[in-house]
Chains A and B, each alone.
Chain A
Amino acid sequence: MLDLQKIRADFPILSETVYGKPLVYFDNAATTQKPRCVVQKMEEGYYKRNANIHRGVHFLSQEATEAHEQARETIRAFIGAKSSNEIVFTRGTTEAINLVASSFGDLLQAGDEILLTAMEHHSNIVPWQLLRTRKGIEIKVIPFTNRGELLLDELAKSINPKTKLIACTHISNALGTINPINEIIKIAHAANIPVLVDGAQSVPHLKIDMQALDADFFVFSAHKIYGPTGIGVLYGKEKWLDKMPPYQGGGEMIAKVSFENTTFAALPFKFEAGTPDFIGSTAFAEALRYISAIGIENIAAHENKLLLYATEKLRKLENIRFIGEAEHKSGLISFLVGSIHPYDVGSILDKLGIAVRTGHHCAQPVMEVFSIEGTVRASFGLYNTTQEIDVFIDGVERVKKMFKQ
């Protein structure tokens, strides 16, 4: 059981009102709110040890470097990576995927194949399409059932000697499906195929252990796990990162530069061109410490309770269509209310102080499968309560009345 009162007090934004109503924030899959300690960490970074890292002899620079590398170590431990060489800082999930598509993509040849699933976020589709244009690779797509569960048979059938990578989301941000990622990785590894896991939605909600998971690449964003915006991580096994050429060129990523020949820095710096977000990294680590202190398993249990409670209550209202009814789901509900456009539902809920997301959730291929333009999505975080769900359900009832459904 979480001490919700205490937790909510850590998040100042939760006591804000919108249009005079208490804020009910159910858009956590898009981004999460920040506890005071995370923002304080940023302030401390700017006020107490702001200096560019890795190249200064002076005291502040050494302090800042130390804090940044400590943050990398915290992240390593949080996901159970073997070495901090495997933790590359990026701007977020999107940049991490682009990095792999570019650098791992450089190792591929025309005719090679990449497998994606039909429930990927655009950020795990478009980088591969750019690679397809550049390199002439093929993209194959694994479909899912109308409940939102991947067809693993199709995955196994799609694998052939040309398959060079499987890139798959751990949790779908549009459906809430928790994919059987262990099984997918086992199938892939049996055929010697590496797997990139998009962990943007899973890191905040599930215990992640790279040793148990054995993913080759794993990517996520700090802002979705109560950390700051603008920073994220590419985890990559050293054996892959070593083989891959650098992504961007610049400072920090070199060993020695001359106009004739430049040699690159060791991992992970080879992939970190330019001044990194050394303030964001420490705040990111602070967020992970905050989460660890509460316990990710406790958070998962709490969010699952909210999911079941909200699903049950929504089901009791008539005329609700759930988009995504997988057996294993994270704390996220995508739905439609009668024939009311999601945008209209969201607009009315907004006026009631309830923040939900409407639209295609950057997963237009998912919407196509269901022949819909979009959904209303309520996604829960560790600070949400059943009382808030009651407010939300009242809101949906109100919407139904207003639109005569």
Chain B
Amino acid sequence: MTINEKQDAIIAEFEFLEDWLDKYQQIIDKGMSSAGVSAKEKTPQNLIEGCQSKVWIVAEMHEGKVVFRAESNTDIAGGIAAMLVDVLSGHTPEEIIQTELYFLEKIGLKEHLSPTRANGMLAMIKQLKLFALAFQTKQ
């Protein structure tokens, strides 16, 4: 699947969830089932610190594709990170850098998050793209 196909799949998943609690449930479940990072990888460099939640993101290169993993101390931030990581993982640095992440807005996440969570989400996106950029410059 391309990045945009993955984004569209998430949008379709959320389309039928009318109640915001159901949407949250979906996000929480995604966080709980995602790969996570090891204790060793929870370094300050991998940490994105929000107001109350912490998110660790690690990135590796496999055969020209970036693979991300993420974990958070809160399940909601963890779920958001998991979605971002799923969408962007397995693609080349160029693809990742050029991607416009529209699914967050389409599923209404941007407007429904508290401002601190929304800021945290933007910080995650920035970090994911920075990882991709770093891999691109190394290539």
User: Is B118 an interface position by the 8 A CB rule?
Assistant: no
Q: A344-B76, A403-B75 are in contact. Are A398 and B21 (CB under 8 A)?
A: yes
Any chain B CB within 8 A of the CB of A60? no
Contact of B73 (CB < 8 Å), options: A358, A373, A398, A403: A373
- Which of A340, A343, A348 has the largest number of chain B CB atoms within 10 A? A343
Q: Which residues of B contact A402 (CB under 8 A)?
A: 21, 24-25, 28
CB within 8 Å of B: which A331-371 residues: 340-344, 347-348, 350-352, 358-359
Given contacts A341-B53, A359-B52, A404-B32, contact A347 B73 (CB under 8 A): no
Question: Does A358 contact B24, Cβ atoms closer than 8 Å?
Answer: no
Q: Does B102 contact A (CB under 8 A)?
A: no
Q: How many residues of A contact B (CB 8 A)?
A: 19
Closest Cβ of chain B to A132, distance in Å, is 28
Q: Is B137 an interface residue (CB 8 A)?
A: no
Tell me whether chain B's interface is mostly helix, strand or loop, or mixed. helix
CB-based contact B24/A343 at 8 Å: no
Least CB separation from A348: chain B residue? B24
A45 adjacent to chain B (CB < 8 Å):
no
B114 interface residue (CB < 8 Å to A): yes
Q: What's the minimum C-beta distance from A206 to chain B, rounded to whole angstroms? A: 31
Question: Do A343 and B21 have beta carbons less than 8 Å apart?
Answer: no
Q: Judging by beta carbons under 8 Å apart, are A347 and B76 in contact?
A: yes
In the assembled complex, how far is the CB of residue B69 from the closest CB belonging to chain A, in whole angstroms?
Answer: 19
Whether A347 pairs with B114 at a CB distance below 8 angstroms is yes
CB distance from A127 to the nearest CB of B (A): 24
A19 an interface residue at 8 Å Cβ cutoff?
yes
B117 in contact (CB, < 8 A): yes
B43 at interface, CB cutoff 8 A: no
A35: interface (CB < 8 Å) = no
Check B74 for interface membership: any CB of A closer than 8 A: yes
- The answer to whether A358 touches B52 (Cβ under 8 A) is yes
CA distance A340 to B114 in the complex (A): 18
Contacts of B74 in A (CB 8 A): 341, 343-344
Interchain CA distance A340-B117 in the complex, whole Å: 17
The distance from the CB of A289 to the nearest CB of chain B, in whole angstroms, is: 37
CB of A199 closer than 8 Å to a CB of B:
no
Interchain CB contact (< 8 A) of B28 among A342, A398, A403: A403
Q: Mark A302-342, 1 if CB is under 8 A from B, else 0.
A: 00000000000000000000000000000000000000111
Instruction: Tell me the minimal C-beta distance from B81 to chain A in angstroms.
Output: 13
Q: With a CB–CB cut-off of 8 A, which chain A residues contact B32?
A: 404
Chain B residues whose C-beta falls within 8 Å of the C-beta of A344 in the assembled complex: 28, 74-76
Closest to B74 in A: A341
Name the A residues within 8 Å of B21 (CB-CB): 348, 351-352, 398, 402
Contact with A along B102-131 (1 / 0, CB 8 A): 000000000000100100000000000000
Contact of A340 with B52 at beta-carbon distance under 8 Å, contacts A347-B117, A348-B24 already known: no
B36 CB, nearest partner CB in chain A, Å:
15
Taking the closest CB of chain A, its distance from the CB of B23, in whole angstroms, is 9
Chain A residues with Cβ below 8 Å from B114 are 347, 350
Q: How far is the CA of A347 from the CA of B74 in the complex (A)?
A: 11
Give B67-87 as 1s and 0s: 1 = Cβ < 8 Å from A's Cβ atoms.
000000111100000000000
Contacts A358-B52, A402-B21 known; 19 new A-B pairs at CB < 8 A:
A19-B20, A340-B75, A341-B53, A341-B73, A343-B74, A343-B76, A344-B28, A344-B74, A344-B76, A347-B24, A348-B21, A348-B24, A351-B20, A352-B21, A373-B52, A373-B73, A398-B21, A403-B75, A404-B32
Q: Across chains A and B, which 5 residue pairs bring their CB atoms closest together, nearest first?
A: A341-B74, A343-B52, A344-B74, A343-B74, A344-B76
Give B contacts to A, CB under 8 Å.
20-21, 24-25, 28, 32, 52-53, 73-76, 114, 117
Listed A/B pairs (29) with beta-carbon separation below 8 Å: A19-B20, A341-B73, A341-B74, A341-B75, A343-B52, A343-B74, A343-B76, A344-B28, A344-B74, A344-B76, A347-B24, A347-B117, A348-B24, A350-B114, A351-B20, A351-B21, A351-B24, A352-B21, A358-B52, A359-B52, A373-B52, A373-B73, A398-B21, A402-B24, A402-B25, A402-B28, A403-B28, A403-B75, A404-B32
